[in-house]
Amino acid sequence: MKRFTLAARLWAFVLIALALPATVNAAPFAAHVMDARTGKPIYAQNASTRLHPASLTKMMTLYMAFAAVEQGRVRLDSRFTISSNAAAEPPSKLGLRAGQQIELRYLIRAAAIKSANDAATAIGEGLAGSEAAFAQQMNATARALGMRNTNFRNANGLTQEGHYSTAEDMSILGRRLFYDFPQYYSLFSRRSADAGVAQVSSTNKRFLDDYPGADGIKTGYTRAAGFNLTASAQRGNKRIIATVFGGTSTAQRNQVMAQLLDTGFGRAPDRVREIRPEPLNIPSQRVVRRAQVQPEPTAVAAQPQRLVLSRSAPPRQVQRATDRASLVAAATPAPAAAPEAAPAARLVLAASQRPAPRPSGSVPEVVTAAETAPEVPAQAPQSASIAGAIVASARPTPAPRNRAAVAEAAPEPQQIAESAPAPAVEAPTGSLSLLASPPPQRRSETVILAAMGEGDISSPEAVQIVRRPAATGRNYGLILGTYTSRSEAEQRLLQSALQDGGSLSGARRNVADTRRGFEAHFSGLTRSDAQLACERLTARGEGCKVTGP
């Protein structure tokens, strides 16, 4: 009984000692503990209070970066240009310079492990064009994840008016990082990494080393926020995620986090049905480029046809087509006693020249036939755009089937010229026949280009087409081993690619489903790169095997 009382007093003293600094510190305290398997809360204290998240903001920045890679909008080896805004961010920072280009994989490592502010800003600007536009995308994603009391203004978490979150929302975000991107989650348990321009160490190294089962996630600190931490740990089949806001120091924050995780493991049931979060479909920003056509100097705009409405002549009265009245005329005049027909609409082609007649011996006969036709009344309107006159004629005689008969019946050309013109036969009302229609000229093969309308006709933006060179010399691969699940194999590939970004930067990651399990291997390597990567893996105590053609 005495031992129990003594232990209770010691625990009460520890709790008072831990709570006392929080009362004198300006940053308010908040905590939230969650069963990661179900997402249900286990413990909460001021969990919905809006506070400064500090560098816990980078969890959302990294979530957006992982989503962009998985959607194919960027690659881990995509090079981002550092702006003057990103280079001027205060520490903690990687030390990037304005105008410098660096691969996305190094920016992700620096933001996740070192919590570099310049790297986080460069990620946001590279993905959305500006930090303000990226903050809008972060807020839209936060609402889709169920983070109801969160609003972001920047990508790094530096104190800014209107930039806030809660302990509950950050626990939700930590759970989504674990379930939505398991292939990248091992990055949060790294103690150090190569960030391209420097070797960086983890800001969470002390807690990862001290607490058994801890494998992430992110620390944060500003003067207004205090010492913050979102952590995840696994023991057996239990996984607990907890968040602390407003710690007074790194040591005090880690102690409180250890107690919260212990409470979570003690209260969480041993067996529970895992409830995975629904997949989140993050809308990607698509840039649509409209192709423009630059008009050529020789292009001529097409002249539109003009339709002229006028009164038509009485029935069976043919208008004179051109001034050459001797060439084409109406076959029969209209009866004098016939009443005037009702006005009707007539379509006239305004600008159309008459094709030149074909040189042949039949032209004089056409003239002779025109002279015998009755004269067209003078009051009929004329049009210089009609190509030929349509007149009434009798149905032609069917051609004989015997070619010999055709040859005998055909008259000589001289006889045709001397023969008198046949009298005009009155055609039935409404019937049309072609009196003289010379063949049209051959259509020109010249293609006339026309402008495609108003709008921006400036030169289209150059689109860079990137093609992977032929697989010449890249026929080697690297087998890392066989694993029980596809997720484990993908995590192994990602971890190796992040650790050795030089020789494996251009390799393709593949997971083959074999009888023995899921085989993780790289492909598309040269022989030297494959051997170099395998030597590095062997030096770290990791197995590998080089394959060739």
In tens, the pLDDT along 321-360 reads 444 444 444 444 444 444 444 444 444 455 555 666 665 5
The answer to whether residue 365 sits within a structural domain is no
Structural domain range at position 132: 26-267
Q: Which of 115, 165, 171, 202 is catalytic?
A: 115
Q: Which residues contact 417 (CB under 8 A, 6 or more apart)?
A: 361, 364, 365
Of 247, 267, 287, the position where a domain reaches its end is 267
Q: What is the predicted pLDDT for the residue at 507?
A: 82
pLDDT of residue 90: 95
Cis peptide before 386, with omega less than 30 degrees from 0? Answer: no
pLDDT over 70, % of the chain: 60
User: Any catalytic annotation for residue 433?
Assistant: no
Does 88 reside within a domain?
Answer: yes
pLDDT for 24 equals: 41
Q: Residue 247 sits in a domain of what CATH number?
A: 3.40.710.10
Give whichever of 24-38, 144-158, 473-487 has the largest mean pLDDT. Answer: 144-158
Whether 1 maps to a domain, the answer reads: no
* 426-473 pLDDT tens trace: 444 444 444 555 666 666 555 544 444 443 444 444 545 444 444 446
Residue 291 resides in a domain: no
In a domain, 198, yes or no: yes
pLDDT of 306 reads 57
Task: Give a yes or no: residue 283 inside a domain.
Answer: no
- Give the residue from 163, 150, 313 showing the smallest Cα distance to 225: 163
| Per-residue pLDDT, 285 | 52
Measured distance CA(329)–CA(317) in Å, rounded: 10
11-20, 105-114, 427-436, 448-457: the lowest-pLDDT one: 448-457
Q: Is 413 exposed, middle or buried (0-12, 13-18, 19+ CB in 10 A)?
A: exposed
Residue 503 located in a structural domain: yes
The total number of structural domains in the chain stands at 2
Q: Which residue has the higher pLDDT, 200 or 4?
A: 200
Query: Is the residue at 190 inside a domain?
Result: yes
CB atoms closer than 10 angstroms to residue 155: 30
214 forms beta bridges with 233
Average pLDDT, the chain: 75
Annotate 343-368 with DSSP letters as a single string. P-EEEEESS-PPPPPPPSTTHHHHHH
Reported confidence tier of residue 15, pLDDT bands at 50, 70, 90 = low
- Of 219, 235, 267, the residue that ends a domain is 267
Higher pLDDT, 14 or 240: 240
What are the strands, taking DSSP E only, across 77-209?
79-81, 101-103, 192-194, 199-201
Highest mean pLDDT among 120-129, 293-302, 425-434, 468-477: 120-129
Is 115 catalytic? The answer is: yes
The pLDDT-based confidence of 307 (bands split at 50, 70, 90) is low
Any catalytic annotation for residue 218?
no
Among 58, 93, 218, 238, the active-site one is: 58
Cα separation, 547 vs 549, in Å, equals 7
DSSP code of residue 508: E
Closest C-alpha to 187, from 112, 281, 267: 112
Closest to 97 (Cα-Cα) out of 110, 111, 84: 84
pLDDT at 402: 52
Average pLDDT of span 303-329: 49
Q: How far is CA 540 from the centre of its chain?
A: 40
The pLDDT score that the predictor gives to residue 534 is 87
Tokens representing 311 are: 């009164």
How is residue 51 annotated by DSSP?
Answer: B
pLDDT score for 523: 87
Of residues 439 and 376, the one with the higher pLDDT is: 439
Instruction: Assign 125 a pLDDT band (cuts: 50, 70, 90).
Output: very high
pLDDT-derived band at 548 (thresholds 50, 70, 90) equals: confident
Measured CA to CA, the distance from residue 51 to residue 379 in angstroms comes to: 95
- Across-strand partners of 41? 34
> Which CATH number do you get for residue 528?
3.30.70.1070
Final residue before a domain boundary, out of 234, 267, 300: 267
Q: Using CB atoms within 10 A of its CB, is residue 445 exposed (0-12), middle (13-18) or buried (19+)?
A: exposed
